[in-house]
């Protein structure tokens, strides 16, 4: 039987321009990266083509998804992220 490779988490951070909470979320993600490997996509909800996310999160950035599941909205801290990643 082949050994199972560890899953690399996929995170999406929904942000906007001039968002200080989004800047804090990015710093918190840097802390998490010290303990866990993950792929990160940053989506600016104001960009063209992101209308779906803008409608959903216009008042709730930053928002963080882990493997397609929303884990934080409005405030993203390292402890919340780590707790969610431990359950992968």
- β strands within the chain, DSSP E: 9-15, 38-44, 63-66, 69-73
Q: Is the pLDDT of residue 25 over 70?
A: yes
For residues 5 and 83, what is the distance between their CA atoms, to the nearest angstrom? 21
* Each residue's pLDDT tens digit, 38-47: 999 999 999 9
Global pTM value = 0.88
Which superfamily is assigned to 9-86 in CATH? Glutaredoxin (3.40.30.10)
* Each residue's pLDDT tens digit, 9-19: 899 999 999 99
Nearest Cα neighbor of 15 from 45, 59, 38 is 45
Domain boundaries, the chain: 9-86
Q: Is the pLDDT of residue 4 over 80?
A: no
Binned at pLDDT 50, 70 and 90, residue 2 comes out as low
Q: Is the pLDDT of residue 82 over 80?
A: yes
């Amino acid at each position: 039987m082949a050994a199972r490779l560890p899953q690399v988490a996929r995170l999406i951070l929904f942000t906007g321009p001039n968002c200080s909470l989004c800047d804090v979320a990015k710093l918190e993600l840097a802390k998490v990266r010290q303990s866990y490997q993950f792929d990160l996509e940053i989506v600016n909800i104001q960009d063209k083509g992101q209308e779906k996310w803008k409608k959903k999160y216009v008042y709730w950035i930053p928002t963080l998804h882990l493997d397609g599941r929303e884990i934080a909205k409005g405030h993203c801290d390292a402890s919340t992220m780590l707790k969610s990643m431990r359950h992968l």
